[in-house]
Structure formats: structure tokens, C-alpha cells
Amino acid sequence: MKQETIKKLESRGVKIKDLVPILYDLQKPYIPELTMDQCEESILAVLDKRDIQHTILTGIALDELAEKGMLDEPLLSILRQDDGLYGIDEILALGMGTLYGTIGSTNFGYLDKVKPGIIKKLDTTPERVNTFLDDLVCGLVAAAASRLAHRNKDLKELNIKQSTD
Amino acid sequence: MKQETIKKLESRGVKIKDLVPILYDLQKPYIPELTMDQCEESILAVLDKRDIQHTILTGIALDELAEKGMLDEPLLSILRQDDGLYGIDEILALGMGTLYGTIGSTNFGYLDKVKPGIIKKLDTTPERVNTFLDDLVCGLVAAAASRLAHRNKDLKELNIKQSTD
Amino acid sequence: MKQETIKKLESRGVKIKDLVPILYDLQKPYIPELTMDQCEESILAVLDKRDIQHTILTGIALDELAEKGMLDEPLLSILRQDDGLYGIDEILALGMGTLYGTIGSTNFGYLDKVKPGIIKKLDTTPERVNTFLDDLVCGLVAAAASRLAHRNKDLKELNIKQSTD
Amino acid sequence: MKQETIKKLESRGVKIKDLVPILYDLQKPYIPELTMDQCEESILAVLDKRDIQHTILTGIALDELAEKGMLDEPLLSILRQDDGLYGIDEILALGMGTLYGTIGSTNFGYLDKVKPGIIKKLDTTPERVNTFLDDLVCGLVAAAASRLAHRNKDLKELNIKQSTD
């Protein structure tokens, strides 16, 4: 299911490569020795999680169905206008962001507000409905950031066992 | 949007009247003077909340689209089989359940596991996809239970102001 | 308990007046007609909620006990150093932030990362342990922001009933 | 920190051995080949997680401080009476329960309501303040249950890689 999830993200205009620098900028201040490769590895590892795959596939399905007009009103208009008070996209993405620890919530909220790089572009693609997609991407990067932070600490504690669970 | 939400629930086989006794049994041990009318009033008050309406409409939309085969694989099969590891229905319903305070999480989890009354029926209607619906109903009743518990305490504290916010 | 909560915040260096401009800056872009008075009113209304009071009192108690050295190790050192991987402060504050709807999570994460005004000061007061306090303040302002956003929409919908629940 | 966490649980009357049968009864219906050893292994693996350790140490600290009367009012009385509307214990434990996926929320809520085995005993030990402890134990077992469920599915999918992340 991991490959279907990555393909689905790409079909909506999101390449893992686009997320790597966002994650790098987010964690570099805390992990000076961080590399782009480690960021890519962490995003791919997060995508192994069944909950992450389910969340991305479900959120994108709702975007696609809204785009095709295949949802009933009033939900259709809410998703098409990305109603600021519709919080289901946030709740799904937050669930991803905290799967590697609650510190993910801070990174999720920050990314969702600041919308760096590709995230901003997703949020402002008029011909597309990306109500869920931009939040999903924030949640994915936030989860990868939490994972990096915990693993970095684990390594420092020379406690590899911990990091394999 | 409240009326659309109630109509949508009814179109999926859930009447508010079916939820009243579930809420009553859940809270009666803590509020001896509780009446069925207060339970119905509390469920209807919870349905006034925009987040509750959004969650119910979104979850039911996914059930309906899965029923009609209008979702891509692997999501379609996951929802049709109500895969026990698919947690998006829980995360949405839990978001409802905790909107009136974190004690809602206990009632949500309990209802989702024990599945009293209509909830069990929803979970075992073969010709229908109710992957989200049964959890949404648990979340709705859990939210109404939290609201009742807090209001009961508020009244005891003769602090009506508190209960109107 | 509301007054005890406000007093406790003040005893830790947080005046409601300090939070008003933070909330104002956060919501002004979405509510052009927003006033400082409405921001103060919203923060005070959020402080009426039992869950908000409980969270603030619990988090500040942990800060105070860490400050006095009355916690066992390793928790004492974790709180005194504000270990970046300690997420209990975030989880408590996030619970506050989402009590008025899941959109609160975005504002919480943003505030917790950017730390405007008093929040930055709290996070960098060496002689004090404010591991929980800065997150609690972010959660409180985020909750007040969600409340303002929902009420603003409610008023637009001329649906006062909704806003009193 | 794992050993300190296990010691702290034992000092409050909770042995890992007491939790094994609760987890076994919870997951046996879904994993027929489940053994007691696998349950113990899963609980110990969950205790490797930094977030789990932090949550348990923080919650127990609040119980101990309440027991010793070292908290200010009104928090002291709230914890000593285990006020049913105090939801901080639930929010902390729920954070543990969902660390291995959102399905943990159902098991947490169920355990917290039904209180099997040692959990009931903790909730009714008059001379002790266990306001947090019983919820923490529910959250720990719920997390271990989610982990078992996901690993069981992973193994079925012959996807070991997935289970080591």
C-alpha cells in the first residue's frame, strides 16, 4: 500500500523530493549534522506506517471526489471552498503528526500556518481541490520530523533498541 | 446544516430516537435524576456544533461512496471490509467525542467496543457499508454524554453562565 | 475555579492583558472588524471551561514543583531543562486548543513554534521553570481563536442559538 | 528511563505481570494464536517509547504529590476525589493509547470504563491517590494492544520491514 500512497501523492502533484527540503529546514536547527538523505529516509519510513497510508488515501479521495463533484451538498461546497472552519482535514493530519510523539503537533500546526514550499502551492491551486492534501503533507512532514528528533536522541543515548520499535 | 446532518443520519438508518436510550443508560448511573427528554435535548444540542456536523457528513459520505464503489483501491476494499486496522473512522469520531471535554474519550471507546442497541445493528448490516457510521454514532453519543456531565456539574455549582459557553 | 486559574497565571507572570494582542494579531486577518475587547472577552470565556481550568492548574503545578525540586528524577531534570522531546506539555495544551474545534490545533502549533510576545519571554526566563506555562498560554490563545472564528461564522449565519452552546 | 518507569509502576502497585492477562483477554479474540509471552513482550516494547515513559512518570508524580498533600487547592481536592470531570488523566492516557495508531482509542476507552483486573483495584484503593495511575495503565495496555494488532497484520503481510519502524 506504500507504493499506492506515494503514487497517489504524485498524481496530486506532491513528490517526496519536494518535502525533503521542508523537513530539512524544520529540523536542521535542532540536528546540525542532519542531511537531506536522512530527511528523505525519514519521510519514506513514515510512509511505511499503515495509519499514515490510510490517512493520506482517505484525505486525497475526498479531494478527488470534491473535484469531480461527486459529493452531496453542503459537503461539496465546503470542500471546494476549503471552508476555514472545516477541521476534518486538520484532525486527520494531526493524527499523522502525533503518531511519532506529541511534539509532532507543534510542527504540524506551524507548517499548516506558514505553508512553506510546495504546501503553499497546493493551497493555492485554483483548478484543483486540495483541501485535505496540503494538511496531509504538513502532517506527513511533521511525523517525519518527530521521528528524526526521537531517533537523534536515541542515537545519542546509544540506545538503538529503542529506535527499532 | 443541522437539518441536513439529521436527514443524512436518518437516510443511513439512524434516528435520534434510537440514540436517546443509549445516552440515558450511559449517564443515568452518574445523574440519577436524568430524563429521556434531557438526553434527546443534549444530542440535538451537540448536533448544533459545526465540527459535529462536518464530521458526520464527511464520514457518511465515505460510507456511501464505498457502497457505490466510487472509491479507488485499496481504500475501497478497506472500507467495504471495515478493516480493523483502519483507524480513520475512530479518529474522526474521537474528535467529536472530545469536543465537550476529554472525558468523552472514555465513553466513545466504551460504546465503540460494546456497541449497544442501534450501534451493533449498524456494525452488522451486510448489504451496507457503515464503516464510519457506527463510530460516528458512538462519537455523537459520547459528546452528548460529556455535555450532560459538565452541565449537571455546572447546575450543581449554580453557575449557569458557565453552561452557556 | 476561574478566578484561581487567572490568579495562578498571574502568579507565573501571565496577565490576560498580555494575551489579548497575541489573539488579536492571530485572528485580525480573518475577522477585519475584530476588536481588542472581543479578544479579551473570548479569552475570559474560554477560561470559564472546566477543562481549560484543570489543564492550566495541572500544568502550572508541575512547573512549580519542578522549580522547587519537589519531583523525582528523571522527571525533575526533564522539566527543568524543558527537554524538547518531552511532549506532555504539548499534549495538555493541544487538548485545550482543540476544545473549540480542531482548527485550534493549527493555531496552537503555530504559536508554540513562533512564540510571539509574552510567550517567548516565558520560554526564556532562566530562573523559572516554565516548561508547561508557555504551551498552556499557546493552547489558551488557540482555544480563544477557534471560539472567535466559530462565533464570527455563527453571527454571519444569524444563528445565535448555535453560538450559545 | 525504562527501568525507572517500571520501578515507579511497581512502587504504585502495578506489576507488568498484572497487565499481561488484561492485554491477552483484549486481543485473543482477534489473534487466536496469541500467547501470554507475546503480550508481555508487547507491553515491554511499548515501555521503550520515550513518550510512554514521560506520560507514566508525569501522571504518577501528580498522584504521589496529591497523596502527600503537596499540591495547591483546588487541584489537590480534585485529584484526591478523582473528580469525574477532571479529564487530564484521560488526555494523558489517550495520548499513550493512540501512539501505535488511532485504534488504541477504542481499547483505552473500553478498559477505562470496564476496569478489568488490577485496574479496578487501583481505582478503589481508598488510602491511595490513583487518579492518574488507573488511566495510565489503561493507556499502556491499549498501546500494547494496538502494537500487537498492527504487528499481527504486518506478519500476515510478510512485511517485517514495516514492523520494525
Give the one of B51, B101, B164 whose C-beta lies nearest to C164's C-beta: B164
Tell me what the pLDDT averaged over chain D comes to: 90
Chain B and chain D share a number of CB contacts under 8 A equal to: 77
Give the pLDDT band (50/70/90) at residue D158.
Answer: low
Give the one of C51, C150, C165 whose C-beta lies nearest to B45's C-beta: C165
All 3 cell numbers of residue D66? 496529591
Give the one of C4, C85, C87 whose C-beta lies nearest to D74's C-beta: C4
DSSP A115-139: --THHHHHHT-TTS--TTHHHHHHH
C57: pLDDT strictly greater than 70: yes
Amino acid at C120: K
Q: What is the mean pLDDT of residues C124-137?
A: 89
A156: pLDDT strictly greater than 90: no
| ipTM of the complex as predicted | 0.88
More confident residue, C162 or D142: D142
Model pLDDT, residue B28: 94
Q: What is the spatial distance between Cα B118 and Cα D150, in angstroms, rounded to a whole number?
A: 29
pLDDT tens, A80-100? 988 888 989 999 998 888 888
Report CA C37 to chain centroid distance, whole Å: 18
What percent of chain A lies above the pLDDT cut of 70? 95
Say if CB C16 and CB C6 are below 8 A apart. Answer: yes
All 3 cell numbers of residue A22? 521542508
Please answer yes or no on whether C50 and B150 come within 8 Å at the CB atom: yes
The HSE-up count of residue B62 (CA atoms within 13 Å, CB side) is 32
Residues of D in contact with B101 (CB under 8 A): 85, 87
Say if CB B146 and CB B97 are below 8 A apart. Answer: yes
Please answer yes or no on whether B102 and D112 come within 8 Å at the CB atom: no
pLDDT tens, B24-81? 999 999 999 999 999 999 999 999 999 999 999 999 999 999 999 999 999 999 999 8
Question: Please, where are the H alpha helices in C1-132?
Answer: 2-11, 16-27, 36-46, 50-67, 75-81, 88-97, 104-114, 118-123
Give the one of C54, C70, C85 whose C-beta lies nearest to D87's C-beta: C54
Q: What is the mean pLDDT of residues D5-24?
A: 96
Model pLDDT, residue C156: 80
Nearest residue of C to residue A30, measured between CA atoms = C84
Q: What is the spatial distance between Cα C108 and Cα C127, in angstroms, rounded to a whole number?
A: 25
Asked, as a colleague might, if the bond just before A29 is cis with ω within 30 of 0, I would say no
Could you tell me which residues come within 8 angstroms of residue C159 by beta carbon, excluding any fewer than 6 positions away?
A: none
Please answer yes or no on whether C101 and B102 come within 8 Å at the CB atom: no
Q: What does each C-alpha distance from C47 to B99, C6, C106, D66, D99 come to in angstroms?
A: 16, 8, 20, 24, 29
Report CA B17 to chain centroid distance, whole Å: 13
pLDDT tens, A116-155? 989 988 877 778 899 999 999 999 999 999 999 988 888 8
Q: What is the spatial distance between Cα D97 and Cα B36, in angstroms, rounded to a whole number?
A: 33
Nearest residue of D to residue A100, measured between CA atoms = D99
pLDDT tens, A19-66? 999 999 999 999 999 999 999 999 999 999 999 999 999 999 999 999
Q: Choose among C122, C131, C108, C132: nearest CA to C13.
A: C122
Give the pLDDT band (50/70/90) at residue B153.
Answer: confident
Please answer yes or no on whether A113 and C107 come within 8 Å at the CB atom: yes
A90 and chain C in contact, CB less than 8 A: yes
D149: pLDDT strictly greater than 80: yes
The HSE-up count of residue D6 (CA atoms within 13 Å, CB side) is 16
Residues of B in contact with C161 (CB under 8 A): 48
In the block, residue with C-alpha cell 504551551:
C135
Reported as type and span, the H/E element at residue C136 is helix C133-156
Long-range contacts of A19-26 (CB under 8 A, 24+ apart): A19/A43, A19/A118, A19/A137, A19/A140, A19/A141, A19/A144, A21/A117, A22/A111, A22/A116, A22/A117, A22/A118, A22/A119, A22/A141, A23/A141, A23/A144, A23/A145, A23/A148, A25/A116, A26/A107, A26/A110, A26/A111, A26/A141, A26/A145
For A74-88, C42-56, D91-105, which range has the lowest pLDDT when averaged over its residues? D91-105
B106 and chain D in contact, CB less than 8 A: yes
Q: What does DSSP assign to residue C69?
A: T
Report CA C84 to chain centroid distance, whole Å: 19
Q: What is the spatial distance between Cα A46 and Cα A140, in angstroms, rounded to a whole number?
A: 7
pLDDT tens, D55-66? 999 999 999 999
Amino acid at D8: K
Buried-state track C98-114, b at ≥16 Cβ within 10 A, e below 16: bbbbbbbbbbbbbbbbb
Model pLDDT, residue D47: 97
What percent of chain D lies above the pLDDT cut of 90? 67
Could you tell me which residues come within 8 angstroms of residue D53 by beta carbon, excluding any fewer than 6 positions away?
A: D1, D2, D4, D5, D47
Model pLDDT, residue A136: 96
Model pLDDT, residue A159: 52
Interface of A with C in 36-75 (CB under 8 A): none
Q: What is the spatial distance between Cα D142 and Cα D96, in angstroms, rounded to a whole number?
A: 8
B158: pLDDT strictly greater than 70: no
Residues of C in contact with B165 (CB under 8 A): 45, 48-49, 164
Model pLDDT, residue C158: 57
Q: Choose among B101, B144, D128: nearest CA to C54.
A: B101
Neighbours of C147 (CB within 10 A): 24
pLDDT tens, D44-102? 999 999 999 999 999 999 999 999 999 999 999 999 988 888 989 999 998 888 888 87
B161: pLDDT strictly greater than 70: no
Please answer yes or no on whether C102 and A110 come within 8 Å at the CB atom: no
Q: What is the spatial distance between Cα C119 and Cα A120, in angstroms, rounded to a whole number?
A: 26
Give the pLDDT band (50/70/90) at residue A165.
Answer: low
User: What structural domains and CATH numbers belong to chain B?
Assistant: 2-7+19-164 (1.10.3760.10)
B102 and chain C in contact, CB less than 8 A: yes
B110 and chain A in contact, CB less than 8 A: no
Model pLDDT, residue A153: 83
Give the one of C50, C61, C91 whose C-beta lies nearest to D91's C-beta: C91
Q: Choose among D91, D88, D11, D15: nearest CA to D47.
A: D15
Residues of C in contact with D86 (CB under 8 A): 54
Give the one of A90, A103, A150 whose C-beta lies nearest to C106's C-beta: A90
In the block, residue with C-alpha cell 460516528:
B136
pLDDT tens, B100-135? 887 788 899 999 989 998 998 887 777 889 999 999
DSSP chain B: -HHHHHHHHHHTT--HHHHHHHHHHHHTTT-TT--HHHHHHHHHHHTTSHHHHHHHHHHHHHHHHHHTT-S-TTHHHHHHTT-TT--HHHHHHHHHHTTT-TTHHHHHHHHHHH--THHHHHHT-TTS--TTHHHHHHHHHHHHHHHHHHHHHHHHTT-HHHHT-
Nearest residue of A to residue B55, measured between CA atoms = A88
More confident residue, B126 or C108: C108
pTM exceeding the 0.80 threshold for the entire prediction: yes
Q: Choose among C53, B106, C9, C61: nearest CA to D61.
A: C61
Q: What is the spatial distance between Cα D122 and Cα D130, in angstroms, rounded to a whole number?
A: 6
Report CA D3 to chain centroid distance, whole Å: 16
More confident residue, D143 or A102: D143
Highest mean pLDDT among B92-96, D7-11, D120-124: D7-11
Give the pLDDT band (50/70/90) at residue A158.
Answer: low
D163 and chain A in contact, CB less than 8 A: no
C162: pLDDT strictly greater than 70: no
Give the pLDDT band (50/70/90) at residue B154.
Answer: confident
